[in-house]
Amino acid sequence: MKPVVLNHPDHLPTFFGPLTVIGTATEEIVKYRALHASNPVYARMAATQPTNVKVTQQPLLSCSKEVQQAYQTNNFDKIKAIEDKANSDLNPIYENIIKKGDSAWVKVKSSTTGEEYYMSWSNSAAVWSYTPSIRASTAQEQLEDPNAKFQAVSQFGTYSSSSDVTGTQKFDLGLPEKAIESVLSLIISQTLSSFLPEGLNFLAAQFAERLSKFAVEKGLEFFKFLVPEAWLGPVTMSIVFTLVFIGLKMLYDWLNRQYTIRVQVFNWDNKYDWQLTTQAVDNAVNPGKDKNTTKLDISIDKMSGSVTYPPDFDPKDKLDCIVYYAVIIYENDKTFARGCSFAIQAIRDKDIRKGFTYAFQCPRFSDNAQYLVGSVVEPAQFLQQASSHWTSSLSVDANSADNTPISVTMSGLQGAANNTYDVNIQINQKSK
């Protein structure tokens, strides 16, 4: 096994083109503060009202055909092997970020485009934060977010060369004034990194607060961010995705409850977006959310034909498959002699007439069970209805009202390692 070399300038990852190392985030923060202090525009600005931060791209997986087949066929043994490879690649980087903080993030410059962004890497993996550009807000955007004169879309990405999987997500930041792209990249990387030591014990409501804090650290005292309530669900899922990626490295850092269920929803549909709207739970909780939250408000885009990466990103193998997906974690709230159950409602293109409803139960003293119908039912009602329809079949199928095939497979009935179970929901998996 090769020794893991972290952030060494002489060992820049081979899956990127020529890069120049500028310096660590710790060094760059000092420069940013001095630069902003000398900017007359910033010097004149008083504290402003908050601007919005939204998740503009739900987690997007790019993978090889081999990985795609493993997920589409629910080959859990193969999936576990893929996840173990990703964990082996990424764990040293995550642990280095937890241990060293800002100094684990390095600003690099593309020799091809001259763009600068932040990255943390080893010889087999990388995590990056990249902001391609800043543009003026549109008239509609200013109506929705009056204090935002500009918009910046920052990408947070993770790549494991051993598993042939890249995960990316995007955050749209409203800005009261222009800022250097790399500053925004650093703010995003610091914010998401700050959740790593907490594992899944995080509160999603702190996301905007931490963004604002890291902006102030760089001399941008008038940058204050707010997550609109409707976007709290997608932000929660993005933090979960950062912590979990396709493996479970950070999962075991939660409260060590009796059971953990990871639901992954893959939208293979190449024509329609799908929305996970609401949920109902019985003795189940989600990380990052209030216990009584029933809203999910998660949109999963249709299959994409392309994805933007940082300049010169060139993975060792071709990543032919690009699919949006959602990951939702459930654990039982009260652990003494109790399992947990939940129901999820999903609709196509915001049409309440077209969709499906799914329920899962993990009892304390019997086999796991599930229930799926190809119609849209209120989740609390559906969870009650499921009590007389549970099946312990590992796979269930249904067609939604528009004839979209939906299939769900769970990883086991009982006795899983760490009491952790996977549920894979496949939407129109044969569409491409």
Share of the chain above pLDDT 70, in %: 94
Task: Tell me the pLDDT band of 288, cut-offs 50, 70 and 90.
Answer: confident
Give 424's strand partners. 264, 409
- Per-residue pLDDT averaged across 43-52, rounded? 77
- d(CA 96, CA 90) in angstroms, rounded, equals 10
Q: Is the pLDDT of residue 5 over 60?
A: yes
Q: pLDDT digits over 132-180, tens only?
A: 989 999 999 999 999 999 999 999 999 999 998 999 999 999 999 999 9
Least confident of 114-128, 177-191, 255-269, 382-396: 255-269
**Residue 254's pLDDT is what?**
56
**Residue 416's pLDDT is what?**
83
**Residue 313's pLDDT is what?**
86
- Per-residue pLDDT averaged across 7-16, rounded? 83
pLDDT greater at residue 118 or residue 248:
118
**Residue 321's pLDDT is what?**
86
3-state helix, strand, coil in the chain (%, to 5): 30, 35, 35
- d(CA 284, CA 260) in angstroms, rounded, equals 9
Q: pLDDT digits over 298-336, tens only?
A: 999 998 767 888 888 878 677 888 899 999 999 888 877
Mean model confidence pLDDT for the chain? 89
Helix (H), strand (E) counts: the chain: 9, 20
Where would I find the beta strands (DSSP E) of 150-273?
150-160, 165-175, 225-226, 260-267
- Per-residue pLDDT averaged across 271-279, rounded? 95
- Per-residue pLDDT averaged across 54-61, rounded? 88
Least confident of 266-280, 325-339, 366-380: 325-339
**Residue 201's pLDDT is what?**
85
pLDDT greater at residue 251 or residue 44:
44
Structural domains of the chain ordered from first start: 9-244 (no CATH), 255-427 (2.60.270.20)
Q: pLDDT digits over 200-213, tens only?
A: 888 898 999 999 99
**Residue 248's pLDDT is what?**
60
DSSP string, 131-156: ---EEEPPHHHHHHSTT-SEEEEEEE
